[in-house]
Amino acid sequence: MAEHLHRLNPLAAAALSCMASAALVGCGSGDDDPEDPGPVPLTVPKVASCASGDKPETALQGQVPAALRAAGFGGFNCNLTLVGQHQGEGGNWSSATFTDGAGRTCAYYATAVPNANRQNPGVPVIDMSNRSAPMRIASLTTPAMTDPWESLRVNDRRQILIADNGQNGGGGPEVDVYDLSGDCRTPQLLASLAVGSGADGGIVPPQSVIGHEGNIAPDGLTYYIGDIRRGAYHAVDVTNTTKPKLIATYNIANLGLATGTTVHGLSTSNDGNRTYAVVLGRAVSAPGPAPMPANSINNGFAIFDTSDIQARKPNAAFKLISTALFQDGSFAQHTIPVTINGKQYLVMVDEGGSAGLANEAAARAACTAGLAPFPMARIYDISDEKSPKVASKLMLETHDLKNCDQVIPDITGLSIFTYGSHYCSVDNRDNATALACGYFNSGIRVFDIRNPERPKEIAYYNPKSATTSMAGSSHAVFGQWRAGGPDWCASRLDWDFQRKQLITMCQDNGLVILQFAPSTWPFTQSTPSRNQT
C-alpha cells in the first residue's frame, strides 16, 4: 500500500490509509460539539422528530422498500410539507428561480428533449405569485433552452437566465442568455450564439464545444461550460450579455489521470479567482478490496486558479492548485464553495456510487468491496487549498454497508440512478447553515451543517409516485420510470428565507414548493442570500 500512497495527493493518501484500517467507519473527523461528545457516526443522524400530520419514513433513512413500490409509493415527509406544485410535463436536471423588482417570483426548469408526446417543449416559465397554484405562462425554446440539461442558471446580480445546449446530454456550442430585469414572467432574449467558432470574437478550441453542464460566476461576468463529451471546461465571457464569447478552455487530460476521466459541474469563488471543478471518474465495474491501485483513482475535484480568466488577460488559462481524489464514489457531479463559521469549505457531490451509477450489479459490487454502494455529498475543509481534507460525508442509512442486503432488492430491474445524491444547494454561500440535497429515490433531504464535521438531518420530502409517465421527464425518457416507484428529485434547490420555503423540481412531479415546519429552518444564525448556488 505504501508504494501507492506516495503518488497520491495528501487527501487521497489519508483517505486510503483510513479505509485500509477501518473500512467505512467514521474516520478523520474531529468532535468539537460539547453537546455531542461521542464518536462521529457513520451515517448522518436521522431527524429527531417530525411535525404533527407528517408521514415519516417506515424503514431505513432514505429507503423506499420494494413492497411500497409494488403497492404504489404514497410519499414520505418530515418537517417539509408540499404547499404548491406545477407538474406540467415533468422535467429533467436543472431548475432556478428569480424574484424581479416588483416582487414577482418565477421558476424555470429544464425539460427533456422534445418527442412525439410533448405539448410544450422547452423551459417553462412559471409564475409563482400564487404559491399554492403556480402557473406556466410560456416556454422558452431557443436552442439551449430546448433541453439545457444541467446548465440552466440564474444570476441575480446581472438579472439574467443562462444555459448552454445540453440536449440529450451533449447538444452543441450554443449559449442562450435572457434578461429577467423587467418582468420575470416575460424573459427577453439577449443572445443565442454558438461559442468557440471564432465568429463569437473569442478563441477557437481544438474541438468544437458541446454543452452539458454549466454554472455562472457570482459576479455574472463568466459562464463556465462543463463539456463532458470533450473532457473540457470552457470559460465564456458574458460581460456583454448580447455577445457571449469563449475566452479559455482546459482539457482534463492535462491532469494525467486514467483513461475515461472527464468533466462535469463546477463553481467559482465570489471574486472569480478560484474555480472548483469536479473530476469525473468512471468507477471500475467490480472494484476489489480497498485500496485500489493509485493510478485507477480518478474521481473527485480540482481547485484551479482562474485569476487570469477573471482579469481577462490574453491567453488566460486555468492553473491547477490541487486535486482531491477518492475511491468510494464515481461520476462526480458538482461543487459549492461555502463559508461556515468564518471558515472555508467545499460541498462536493457525486452522482455515482463506488462501482458506478448505482444499479443492482454496481451496488452489489461496491458492497462486496466494502465501499459505499450509492453516491453522496461530502463537505471538505479547504482552508488550505493545497491540501483539502474531508470534514464529513452525508451518508444515509441506505449507504451503510450493513444494510446492503436490505436495500438492494428495492432497485432490482433498474439500470441507473437509484438511491443516492445528485444536486445540493446551501441556504447562503457566505454563511452556510443548512444544506438541501436531491437524493434520487430518497427524495429531498435537508441537513443542519452549522457543525460541518457533524451534519444532522432536519427535514425530508419524498414525493408520491406520479400516476403516469411524464413526457418531459428524463426519468421516463431513460426508461427508468416505474408505476408506483419513487420520483427522481435530482435538481438544485432554492431557499426562500422570508416564507421559510424550499423550491425545486422533481422529474415526475415537476415544480414543488415546500414549507418548513415551525422552528426547523432558518436558524438564529441563518441569513438570507440572493447569491444562488
d(C-alpha 141, C-alpha 103), whole Å = 25
* Strand positions, DSSP E, 180-212: 188-194
The per-residue pLDDT for 358 is 85
Those residues with Cβ within 8 angstroms of residue 169's Cβ, 6 or more apart along the chain or in another chain: 149, 212, 228
Interval 206-218: pLDDT, tens: 999 999 999 999 9
Q: Radius of gyration over alpha carbons of the chain, in Å?
A: 21
User: Given this model, what pLDDT does residue 15 score?
Assistant: 37
Q: Return the amino acid letter for 272.
A: G
| Distance between CA atoms of residues 346 and 266, nearest Å | 11
Q: Rounded to an integer, what distance in angstroms lies between the CA atom of residue 150 and that of residue 75? A: 26
Query: Nearest-5° angle of CA 152, CA 153, CA 154?
Result: 140
Residue 417 and residue 330: Cα distance in Å, rounded?
12
Write the CATH number of the domain with boundaries 2-32+41-516: 2.130.10.10
* Low-confidence stretches of the chain (pLDDT beneath 50): 1-34, 289
> Residues 440-476, buried b or exposed e (16+ Cβ, 10 A)?
bbbbbbbbbbbbbbbbbbbbbbbbbbbeebbbbbbbb
**Nearest-CA neighbor of 206 among 260, 254, 249, 172?**
249
The residue type of 299 is N
Residue in the structure block whose three cell numbers are 438492494: 408
Domain boundaries, the chain: 2-32+41-516
Measured CA to CA, the distance from residue 81 to residue 58 in angstroms comes to 17
The predicted structure's pLDDT at residue 294: 63
* pLDDT for the residue 22: 33
**What's residue 496's pLDDT?**
97
Residues 73-111 pLDDT 10s? 999 999 999 999 999 999 999 999 999 999 999 999 999
pLDDT of residue 293: 64
pLDDT at res. 150? 98
Residue 248 DSSP SS3: strand
